[in-house]
Every structure is written in structure tokens, then in C-alpha cells.
């Protein structure tokens, strides 16, 4: 299957900083692709470059096999859903959705009947039936989101770019829209490139997940491989579920300021040496208890905890000031009873650790 | 998994200057218009100032004669001096007259709507025809005009004040009234941007009104004063109608010189006056722009 | 500020200031009701009458006072103002649109345009007359005076549109492009409707400035006079209350214009406020 989008070594600078630093990727057609990028990683710039709103200093873009060099944004056939929706304020919902069809340069639809049918069908698909004649200034955030989607999808693009589409919605709506977005995409058979700063959203939505770090793709894979085998300590950090130790390898151990940790588990090559262990892989035990053969441990002082109902997050600090977090799932284990400022041993199976060297 | 390092050189894509090219074409008509109908006439004026002027005709033979005549004649130097003098007087007058009003509207009136209403009230006279506004001073200032009538009725004077009309004073009064609005606006705008918290803090520290005015209000309003001064100066220096209507030909500004010289078809001479006026204006505006770094303040 | 005395003092001053601003106009209005044709442009009012208003429209028996030469001049001023309004607004919109992208020399172009509103009319009028003479072109209100009017009003229209575009969110345009709509069509159907209140302001500005414009027209309009020139012609001659009556009518006309503009703006602002609400959501 030919990739729907191929980017090669894109470079985009703003003044002194490089927003895109030799970025390359290849996206499969007809799939949901999510791009995880913390703020400052260049994710909005990337989308704007793909759409043609910005030009790159170097690199190439191929969309559907065609080179996008010098192709104006309105001739690319790539849809864009904006973070602030960018609906046309002086037009109704219906006119917003119909706008692309009636006004586009290439093959505008002139048959009023056809327009009405296609617009109606798309409005039904996104669940806005009944709101066709409302002014777009008089609908809720979630409804605006759907209008923005419908407006783009009705023109049948081969790919749609979504810039933090769920960012402006409240938490409940966000969860619901996640499912709806996936459903809508599947029914239309288009590729979605969904950019977000939320790691849970990225992992939940993408068939393919890309991680963007400082203008480059740091990892590509499915949710499982990203979550369980982050390719570098930076990616691990974005996932917000790993404790990270910096340091270096010395023989059979990893030497960190917090202590010596036995090596085991998955070893990956990376630029910066690091040792990672997931929050929920750690057990809290009183100090002085013996360690099993394949266990690693660190002594730390208990600081505070956060109870969310289904889990407890406990925060510890080591002698040298490293902050560690332990996640206990209450469906599996009992809630730990910890003394404030008490010293405990944080223990884990060394095979669960990720080592970067 | 890392980015595959590309072995072949990637040619740098030159950002095709499409947006800039569009901008070029968009801005071209305006630029051409200004070059043809603004820059060209001014350049022409400079050029013609060096032409030879005979009694009835003018020849493109270059000479300094008109310039020499201008600078060696009392009348014309007098006009130059009068222009500068009146400009300064009106400028000071507009600041003195306009500043307190701007202070009241910009700083003391808290209600934004009232502020807008007052400013609109100040601007409305501007919307009547300029010439009518000039003319309106005649029945005010004359021997039998309104001011004299009121003063005599109130018993303040027994004889009408004659110097009010057809004198330099009347020109200054008229110009001040017509142009002071251009002072009030920018000053009120700058004053409105002063954070009330700063003044409150100063009051809490025990500073009296005059102290606060001197150290906080005045400096922060200076950009507004400068902007207003530029507006007023440009308009006053180019004036001739007010002086013609209100001074009975006694006051001759450079603008009047130009008008009368054109009337007698002494083009080269008018051009000389014109160039002198242009230089004067350039100096004034440049000097004013140095007083306050406007870019920074605005 | 709490300095009560200062506030009171300044308040009184501002009231006097407003009297200063409006005084002459009020006096002018009062005197326009002077009886005629014997009544002159000074107090006392011999008798209140509408004589001079009637005189303006030629409805009084002929007297030694010539009627103001306003009919043709009025038409010319109107036509000139409309022409100027259209051309300078178009130039203003187009130039402001150009300034949305950064291009080389934009600083220079900016100052060139703004120069048009800074140079006094006397100078540019003189220069234009010289150019016309040298090139053998006749001076007409619709030719030489017209171009100068645009030189004067175009910068105003430009600055207004510049301010409007500054606050304009370009993402709606980008959205239209992403739907396949060409930039020109996007401008027509999306950008222009949204910047229209600004365009309206620019048009009003340009019309008013041109309608009242006088010093630029003095040298450049040739034989046929515009309205301000006709008025100026009466300056050196004796002034009669008919000019005052004319002043009152002109002022009322300006107010009517402003009123229409205020109503139109009110409607547009209400729409713009709804748009702003959308952006906050």
C-alpha cells in the first residue's frame, strides 16, 4: 500500500530556532494516525507545513504520490480541522458545510440538489441534524467541532489534519468525541493525522502513533510498542508514566545519583543513557526486607499521595533529590498505608526496567 | 527506532517568493499613485523654484534669482518669521488649552461611556466644514460681535475690544480653536492608558497632586503631546485660509505668500516659498520625533 | 483620583472648553436667523426670520446681495467626493492586504503612503499646478483635483484597514483554502464580508475629507469650483448671513451622514460581537 503521506528531511526555521529539524515520516493510507508532541515540539508547525500554510527551507513532501513542492494550499486536497474551529462566522451551519463544495476551484458542485444531498448526509454523519440553519455563533463547542469536521469531510479529501481537535472541549465531551472521531473516520475511509499534546489521547486514538520531539520523529509504532517500549528517555518522559534515572552504565550496573541499579530488562541504544521503570511496576515495602534475586530497589522518603478512586499515586524523594512516583491500582492491590516522611524501599523486578545506553 | 540518516544530499528548496510577489502587485497601484501625484509635484516645485521668472512668463532656465529675492526681501523673510511665530504660539496655545481638558476626560472621568461621549463631543465640531468654522469666528470677534456684546452687557468693558478681529490675535484664537482637538485626542488616549494603580500607589505613599502630575502623569502623556504636536504643526504650517479670513490681510503666512504669488502667476516665486515651507515642516517633524521615541512608547 | 478640588476645577474647565469649541458655531447658527436683506452678520438680531435660508435656495426677490454660487459647486463636490471615496478605499484595502505579508521595503512604502496625509494641501496643490502647466494639461476638478484628493484620503483609508487587518484572525482564510477555495474567491466570500465594517469606516472618512477639502483643490481644480472653493470666494467680499445659513445646513448634513454611519456601524458591531463570542468559546 502506498503511503498517503511521505515527508523527507523537512527543515523549518523561525528566526534562530528550528521548529522542524530534518523530519521524515511515512504514513499509511486509511488509518487513524496520532502524533504526540509536547508543547514546543513543532507539532502545529508540522501540520501547517503539510497543509501548505507555511513553506519549508528544505525537504520534500509527497502526498498521494504527488510532490507538493510549490503546490498552493488550496490545490493540495488535504483537509484541516483547526484548534479554534475557524468556522465562517457569517454563514449558517449548512452554508459552512456546503462552502467547500460550492466554492472550490477544482470541480465545484453546481447542482443544487447534489449539494443539498451531500451536505445533508454529512450533517447526519456527524450528528448535527436539526441544526442546519443555526448561526455558527450560536452552537456549543462540541457542535462547532462537528461542523468543522463535516465541512472538511464533505469535500472528500484523501487526508485530514486535525490540530488538537479535542483541546477546547471539556473532559466528558472529549471522551465521547474520541470514539466518534474514530467511527467517522472509518466510515469515510480517509487518513486522519491527529496531533495532540495529551499522551492518553494519542495512545487511545491512533492505529499508528508517532512521537514528535524537538522537530524530529522520535518513535513510530502502535500504542503498545510506544507505551511499553519507548525508544528514548525523552519519549518515556512524554508518556508521563515512567520514573527516569540519569547516569551511566558501569559494568553490570547502572550508576545513578540515587544509587546503583542492577541491569536487566530491555536494552535500547539511545543518545543519552537513562534507566526507566514504570510507575505501576513498583511495589512499596518497608526498609530492611530482603530482596529477591531479580529485584532492584531504591530507598526513598514518602512525601505525599494522590487518591483518584481507582488508583493511588504516591510520591517519594531519594537522598539526592530525585522525585519518584509509584502508581498502585486499587483493583489489584490494597491501598498502601504510609507514614509521612517515612522511609520505604521501592522495589521492582529488574526485568521490567528499560535501559538506554 | 531513529530517523534514517539520508545519505544523498537534499537540495534546499528556495522559499518561492509567492506571498511577497502578491504583496508587490497589491501595493503597486498605491505606490505608483503616490509617486506620480505626490512625489512628482513636490519635486516639480523644487525644480521650478530654480527657474527664471520674468514679469509674465517663466522659463526653465536655472537660476538662483528667486531664492535671492526671497531671502533678501523683508516681506518674505517677515512671512517666514510670522509663520514660525504663529506656529509656536498656536502650538503652545493648543497644548495649554487642550491639556487640562484631556486630563479631565482621560484621567478623571472613570465611566468609559462618558469618556467616549465627551471625546465625541470634542470631535463633532470637526465634522462641520473647515471653512465654515473659520468663518464662524468673524461674528464672534468683531466690534459688534458676540464676545464684545457679552463683555459690554456684563459691564466688563465700556468700549468694544477692537484688537479681537483682524489681527494676529484673532488668527491665533481661531487656529487654536480649530486645531486643539488634535491635541486633546492623543493626550487623552495616552492618559487613559496609565494604570490607575500606579497613581493610587503614589497617593498611598503620600504624594500630592502636583508631585504626581509632574513625575508620573506628565511624562507618560508626552507621547500623546508629541503626536498632537505633529498633527497641529503640520496643519498650522500649511495654513492660509484662517489667516486670510480673520486677519484682513495683515497676517501673511508662507501659505498666503504661495497663494498670492500663484494669483499673480509668479510660479517660481511661489515655488521658492513652497520649498522653504517644506523644509521648515521637515525640520519641525524631525525635531518632534526626536523628543520622544514614539515607536517605543506606542 | 481623589483630589476633589482638582477634579472639580478641571471639570469646570472642560465645560468652558466645550463652550470654546462650540461657541462660534452657536453664534453662527443664531445669526443665520437674522432678518434680511438689511440685516448684517452681527448682533443685534433685528428680527428673527428664515430669510437667508430662503435666499440660499433662490426663493427671495433679487437684492444687491448675490446668491451663493452653490448649485453646480455642490454637485461637483458630491461627485468628486464619491469618486475619491471609491478610489481611495480600493487603494487602501488593497495596500493594507499587501501589508499582511512582510515584503522588502514595506517600511519605505508605509512612509510614502502616510506622507500623503502629512504634506499640506498648499504645497501639493502648487506642485500639481506646476506639473499641469509644464505638461500642458488642463486643470479640472475631475482630473488634477481628483488625484490630489485621493493622495490625501488614501492614507486614512489605508490606516483604518491596517488596524482592521491587525485584529483579523487569518485562520478562517486558511480554512477556506484547505477546502479547495482559491485565494481570490476566499477574499471575496470570506475576508471581505468580515472586514466590511472597516471598509465602511474608510469610505466615510474618505468621503468627508474630500467633500470638505479645500486647500488642495484651490490650485488644481481649474475654472469650475467645488463647494469649499465657492465658499472661499466669499471670504474677501462682505460676509452675509446667507453664508451662515449655508453653514448650518452643511453641519446638519454632516450630522445626517454621521448618523447614518453610526446606525450602519451599530449593526456591524452587533454582528462582530457575535463573532467575538464564537472565538471565546
Task: Confirm or reject contact between C277 and chain A (CB < 8 A).
Answer: yes
Task: State how far residue A242 is from chain C, nearest Cα, in angstroms.
Answer: 35
Task: Confirm or reject contact between C280 and chain A (CB < 8 A).
Answer: no
Decide if B245 is inside a domain: yes
Decide if C62 is inside a domain: no
Query: Are both C213 and C154 inside the same structural domain?
Result: yes
Query: Are both C130 and C184 inside the same structural domain?
Result: yes
Contact A88 C185 (CB under 8 A): no
Q: What domain range is C213 assigned to?
A: 71-233
Q: Which of C252, C210, C232 is nearest to C25 (CA)?
A: C252
B127 closest CB neighbour out of C18, C208, C246? C208
What's the average model confidence in pLDDT over C118-147? 88
A38-80 tens-digit pLDDT: 887 889 999 999 999 999 999 999 998 899 988 999 999 999 9
Report the pLDDT value the prediction gives residue B8, as an integer from 0 to 100.
35
Contact A80 C277 (CB under 8 A): no
Closest residue in A to B1 (Cα) is: A219
A100-159 tens-digit pLDDT: 999 999 989 899 999 999 999 999 999 899 999 999 988 998 899 999 999 999 999 989
Tell whether the model's pLDDT for residue B295 goes beyond 70.
Answer: no
Query: Are both C49 and C84 inside the same structural domain?
Result: no
Decide if B6 is inside a domain: no
Q: Which residue has the higher pLDDT, B161 or A101?
A: A101
Domains of chain A: 5-228 (3.40.50.300), 241-356 (2.40.50.140)
Report the pLDDT value the prediction gives residue C276, as an integer from 0 to 100.
56
How many C-beta atoms surround the C-beta of residue A316 within 10 A?
25
Report the pLDDT value the prediction gives residue C237, as an integer from 0 to 100.
67
% of chain A beyond a pLDDT of 90? 64
Query: Are both C16 and C134 inside the same structural domain?
Result: no
Closest residue in B to C123 (Cα) is: B274
Decide if C263 is inside a domain: no
B10 pLDDT band, cuts 50/70/90, is very low
Report the pLDDT value the prediction gives residue A151, as an integer from 0 to 100.
95
Task: State how far residue B20 is from chain C, nearest Cα, in angstroms.
Answer: 5
Task: Confirm or reject contact between C269 and chain B (CB < 8 A).
Answer: no
Q: Which residue has the higher pLDDT, C239 or B231?
A: B231
Number of domains in chain C: 2
Average pLDDT across chain B, whole number: 82
Contact A80 C194 (CB under 8 A): no
Average pLDDT across chain A, whole number: 91
- State how beta strands A283-286 and A343-349 pair: antiparallel
Contact B132 C247 (CB under 8 A): yes
C278 closest CB neighbour out of A87, A99, A100? A87
Decide if B48 is inside a domain: no
Task: State how far residue C103 is from chain A, nearest Cα, in angstroms.
Answer: 16
> Rounded to an integer, what distance in angstroms lies between the CA atom of residue C76 and that of residue C181?
42
Contact A105 C176 (CB under 8 A): no
Closest residue in A to C276 (Cα) is: A137
Query: Are both C134 and C228 inside the same structural domain?
Result: yes
Report the pLDDT value the prediction gives residue B87, as an integer from 0 to 100.
94
Q: What domain range is B154 assigned to?
A: 75-297
- Scanning C171-230 for CB atoms below 8 A from A yields 171-172, 174-183, 185-186, 189-190, 193-194
Tell whether the model's pLDDT for residue B20 goes beyond 90.
Answer: no
What's the average model confidence in pLDDT over C31-50? 75
C-alpha to C-alpha distances, A81 to A134, A148, B45, C268, nearest whole angstrom: 20, 6, 57, 28
Report the pLDDT value the prediction gives residue B269, as an integer from 0 to 100.
87
CATH of the domain at C199: 1.10.3720.10
Tell whether the model's pLDDT for residue A93 goes beyond 90.
Answer: yes
3-state secondary structure labels for all residues of chain A:
CCCCEEEEEEEEEECCEEEEEEEEEEECCCCEEEEECCCCCCHHHHHHHHHCCCCCCEEEEEECCEECCCCCHHHCCEEEECCCCCCCCCCEHHHHHHHHHHHECCCCCCCHHHHHHHHHHHHHHHCCCCCCCCEHHHCCHHHHHHHHHHHHHCCCCCEEEEECCCCCCCHHHHHHHHHHHHHHHHHHCCEEEEEECCHHHHHHHCCEEEEEECCEEEEEECHHHHHHCCCCHHHHHHCCCEEEEECEEECCEEEECCEEEECCCEEECCCCCEEEEEHHHCEEEECCCCCCCCEEEEEEEEEEEEECCCEEEEEEECCCCCEEEEEEECCCCCCCCCCCCCEEEEEEEHHHCEEEC
Helix (H) or strand (E) holding B58: strand B58-59
CATH of the domain at B271: 1.10.3720.10
> Rounded to an integer, what distance in angstroms lies between the CA atom of residue B88 and that of residue B86?
5
A321-354 tens-digit pLDDT: 889 999 999 998 888 888 999 999 999 998 899 9
Report the pLDDT value the prediction gives residue A46, as an integer from 0 to 100.
94
B10 closest CB neighbour out of A55, A58, A217? A58
Q: How far is CA A188 from the centre of its chain?
A: 22
Q: Among C17-31, C48-62, C160-174, which range has the highest average pLDDT?
A: C160-174
Tell whether the model's pLDDT for residue B7 goes beyond 50.
Answer: no
Decide if C256 is inside a domain: no
Question: For B126, which DSSP code?
Answer: G
3-state secondary structure labels for all residues of C154-196:
HHHHHHHHHHHHHCCCCHHHHHHHHCCECHHHHHHHHHHHHHH
> Rounded to an integer, what distance in angstroms lies between the CA atom of residue A237 and that of residue B106?
53
Contact B33 C251 (CB under 8 A): no
Q: Which residue has the higher pLDDT, C43 or A13?
A: A13
Tell whether the model's pLDDT for residue C70 goes beyond 70.
Answer: yes
C56-65 long-range contacts, CB within 8 A, separation 24+:
C56/C242, C56/C245, C56/C246, C56/C249, C60/C36, C63/C36, C63/C37, C64/C37, C65/C36, C65/C37, C65/C240, C65/C242
> Rounded to an integer, what distance in angstroms lies between the CA atom of residue A220 and that of residue B219?
59
Q: Which three cell numbers stand for residue C51?
A: 430669510
What's the average model confidence in pLDDT over C150-157? 94
Query: Are both C82 and C144 inside the same structural domain?
Result: yes
> Rounded to an integer, what distance in angstroms lies between the CA atom of residue C67 and that of residue B134?
20
CA atoms within 13 A on the CB side of A226: 28
Decide if B41 is inside a domain: no
Report the pLDDT value the prediction gives residue B4, as an integer from 0 to 100.
41
Task: Confirm or reject contact between B15 and chain A (CB < 8 A).
Answer: yes
Contact B15 A55 (CB under 8 A): yes
C150 pLDDT band, cuts 50/70/90, is very high
Report the pLDDT value the prediction gives residue B242, as an integer from 0 to 100.
87
Query: Are both C79 and C163 inside the same structural domain?
Result: yes
Decide if B265 is inside a domain: yes
Report the pLDDT value the prediction gives residue C271, as an integer from 0 to 100.
67
Task: Confirm or reject contact between B13 and chain A (CB < 8 A).
Answer: yes
Report the pLDDT value the prediction gives residue A62, as an integer from 0 to 100.
93
Q: Is the pTM of this model over 0.95?
A: no
Residues of chain A contacting B, Cβ within 8 Å: 8-9, 22-24, 55-60, 69-70, 72, 216-217, 219-221, 231
Amino acid at each position: 500500500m502506498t503511503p498517503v503521506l511521505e515527508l523527507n528531511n523537512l527543515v523549518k526555521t523561525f528566526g534562530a530556532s528550528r521548529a522542524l529539524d530534518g523530519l521524515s515520516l511515512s504514513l499509511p493510507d486509511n488509518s487513524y494516525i496520532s502524533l504526540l508532541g509536547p508543547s514546543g515540539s513543532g507539532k502545529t508547525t508540522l501540520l501547517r507545513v503539510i497543509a501548505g500554510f507555511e513553506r519549508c527551507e528544505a525537504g520534500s513532501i509527497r502526498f498521494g504520490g504527488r510532490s507538493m513542492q510549490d503546490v498552493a494550499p488550496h490545490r493540495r486536497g488535504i483537509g484541516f480541522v483547526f484548534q479554534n474551529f475557524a468556522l465562517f462566522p457569517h454563514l449558517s451551519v449548512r452554508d459552512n458545510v456546503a462552502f467547500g463544495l460550492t466554492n472550490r476551484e477544482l470541480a465545484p458542485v453546481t447542482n443544487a440538489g447534489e449539494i443539498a444531498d451531500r451536505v445533508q448526509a454529512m450533517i447526519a454523519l456527524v450528528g448535527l441534524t436539526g441544526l442546519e440553519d443555526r448561526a455558527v455563533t450560536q452552537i456549543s463547542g462540541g457542535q462547532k467541532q462537528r461542523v468543522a469536521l463535516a465541512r472538511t469531510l464533505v469535500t472528500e479529501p484523501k487526508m485530514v489534519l486535525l490540530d488538537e481537535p479535542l483541546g477546547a472541549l471539556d473532559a466528558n465531551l472529549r471522551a465521547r468525541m474520541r470514539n466518534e472521531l474514530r467511527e467517522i473516520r472509518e466510515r469515510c475511509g480517509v487518513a486522519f493525522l491527529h496531533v495532540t499534546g495529551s499522551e492518553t489521547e494519542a495512545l487511545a486514538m491512533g492505529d499508528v502513533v508517532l512521537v514528535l520531539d524537538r522537530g524530529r520523529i522520535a518513535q513510530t509504532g502502535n500504542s503498545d510498542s510506544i507505551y511499553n517500549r519507548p525508544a528514548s528517555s525523552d519519549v518515556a518522559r512524554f508518556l508521563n508514566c515512567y520514573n527516569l534515572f540519569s547516569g551511566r552504565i558501569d559494568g553490570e550496573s547502572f550508576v545513578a545519583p540515587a544509587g546503583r541499579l542492577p541491569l536487566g530488562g530491555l536494552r535500547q541504544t539511545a543518545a543519552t543513557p537513562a534507566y526507566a521503570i514504570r510507575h505501576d511496576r513498583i511495589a512499596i515495602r518497608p526498609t530492611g526486607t530482603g530482596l529477591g534475586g531479580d529485584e532492584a530497589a531504591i530507598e526513598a522518603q514518602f512525601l505525599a499521595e494522590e487518591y483518584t478512586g481507582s488508583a493511588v499515586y504516591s510520591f517519594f524523594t531519594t537522598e539526592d533529590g530525585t522525585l519518584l512516583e509509584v502508581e498502585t491500582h486499587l483493583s489489584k492491590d490494597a491501598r498502601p498505608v504510609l507514614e509521612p516522611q517515612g522511609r520505604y524501599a521501592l522495589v521492582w523486578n529488574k526485568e521490567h526496567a528499560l535501559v538506554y545506553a | 527506532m531513529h530517523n534514517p540518516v539520508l545519505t544523498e544530499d537534499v537540495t534546499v528548496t528556495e522559499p518561492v517568493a509567492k506571498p511577497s510577489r502578491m504583496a508587490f502587485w497589491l501595493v503597486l497601484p498605491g505606490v505608483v499613485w503616490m509617486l506620480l501625484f505626490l512625489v512628482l509635484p513636490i519635486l516639480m516645485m523644487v525644480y521650478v523654484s530654480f527657474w527664471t521668472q520674468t514679469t509674465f512668463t517663466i522659463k526653465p532656465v536655472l537660476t538662483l534669482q528667486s531664492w535671492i529675492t526671497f531671502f533678501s526681501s523683508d516681506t518674505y523673510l517677515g512671512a517666514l518669521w510670522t509663520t514660525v511665530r504663529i506656529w509656536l504660539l498656536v502650538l503652545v496655545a493648543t497644548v495649554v488649552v487642550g491639556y487640562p481638558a484631556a486630563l479631565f476626560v482621560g484621567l478623571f472621568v472613570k465611566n468609559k461611556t462618558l469618556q467616549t461621549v465627551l471625546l465625541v463631543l470634542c470631535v463633532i465640531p470637526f465634522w462641520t466644514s473647515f471653512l465654515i468654522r473659520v468663518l464662524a469666528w468673524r461674528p464672534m470677534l468683531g466690534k459688534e460681535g458676540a464676545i464684545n456684546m457679552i463683555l459690554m452687557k456684563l459691564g466688563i468693558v465700556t468700549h468694544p475690544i477692537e484688537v479681537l478681529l483682524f489681527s494676529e490675535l484673532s488668527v491665533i484664537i481661531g487656529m487654536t480653536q480649530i486645531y486643539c482637538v488634535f491635541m486633546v485626542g492623543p493626550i487623552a488616549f495616552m492618559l487613559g492608558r496609565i494604570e490607575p494603580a500606579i497613581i493610587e500607589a503614589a497617593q498611598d505613599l503620600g504624594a500630592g497632586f502636583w508631585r504626581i502630575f509632574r513625575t508620573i502623569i506628565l511624562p507618560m502623556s508626552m507621547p500623546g503631546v508629541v503626536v498632537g504636536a505633529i498633527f497641529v504643526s503640520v496643519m498650522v504650517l500649511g495654513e492660509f485660509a484662517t489667516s486670510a479670513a480673520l486677519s484682513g490681510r495683515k497676517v501673511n503666512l508662507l501659505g498666503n505668500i504661495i497663494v498670492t504669488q500663484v494669483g499673480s502667476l509668479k510660479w517660481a516665486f511661489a515655488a521658492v516659498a513652497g520649498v522653504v515651507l517644506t523644509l521648515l515642516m521637515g525640520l519641525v517633524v524631525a525635531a518632534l520625533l526626536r523628543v520622544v521615541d514614539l515607536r517605543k512608547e506606542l | 483620583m481623589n483630589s476633589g478640588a482638582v477634579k472639580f476645577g478641571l471639570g469646570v474647565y472642560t465645560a468652558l472648553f466645550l463652550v470654546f469649541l462650540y461657541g462660534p458655531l452657536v453664534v453662527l447658527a443664531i445669526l443665520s436667523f437674522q432678518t434680511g436683506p438689511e440685516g448684517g452678520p452681527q448682533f443685534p438680531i433685528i428680527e428673527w426670520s428664515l430669510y437667508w435660508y430662503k435666499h440660499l435656495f433662490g426663493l427671495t426677490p433679487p437684492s444687491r446681495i448675490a446668491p451663493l454660487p452653490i448649485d453646480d459647486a455642490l454637485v461637483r463636490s458630491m461627485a468628486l467626493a464619491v469618486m475619491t471615496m471609491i478610489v481611495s478605499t480600493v487603494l487602501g484595502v488593497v495596500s493594507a492586504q499587501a501589508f499582511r505579508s512582510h515584503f522588502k521595503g514595506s517600511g519605505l512604502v508605509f512612509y510614502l503612503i502616510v506622507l500623503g496625509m502629512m504634506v499640506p494641501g498648499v504645497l501639493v496643490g502648487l506642485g500639481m499646478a506646476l506639473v499641469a502647466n509644464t505638461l500642458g494639461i488642463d486643470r479640472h476638478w475631475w482630473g488634477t483635483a481628483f488625484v490630489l484628493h485621493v493622495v490625501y484620503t488614501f492614507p486614512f483609508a489605508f490606516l483604518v484597514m491596517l488596524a482592521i487587518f491587525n485584529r483579523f484572525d487569518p485562520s478562517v482564510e486558511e480554512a477556506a483554502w484547505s477546502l479547495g477555495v482559491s485565494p481570490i474567491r476566499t477574499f471575496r466570500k470570506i475576508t471581505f464580508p468580515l472586514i466590511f465594517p472597516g471598509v465602511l469606516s474608510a469610505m466615510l472618512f474618505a468621503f468627508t475629507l474630500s467633500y470638505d477639502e479645500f486647500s488642495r483643490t484651490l490650485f488644481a481644480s481649474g475654472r469650475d469650483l467645488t463647494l469649499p472653493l465657492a465658499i472661499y470666494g466669499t471670504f474677501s467680499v462682505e460676509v452675509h448671513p446667507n453664508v451662515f445659513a449655508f453653514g448650518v445646513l452643511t453641519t446638519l448634513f454632516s450630522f445626517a451622514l454621521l448618523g447614518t454611519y453610526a446606525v450602519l456601524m451599530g449593526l456591524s458591531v452587533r454582528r462582530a460581537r457575535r463573532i467575538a463570542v464564537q472565538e471565546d468559546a
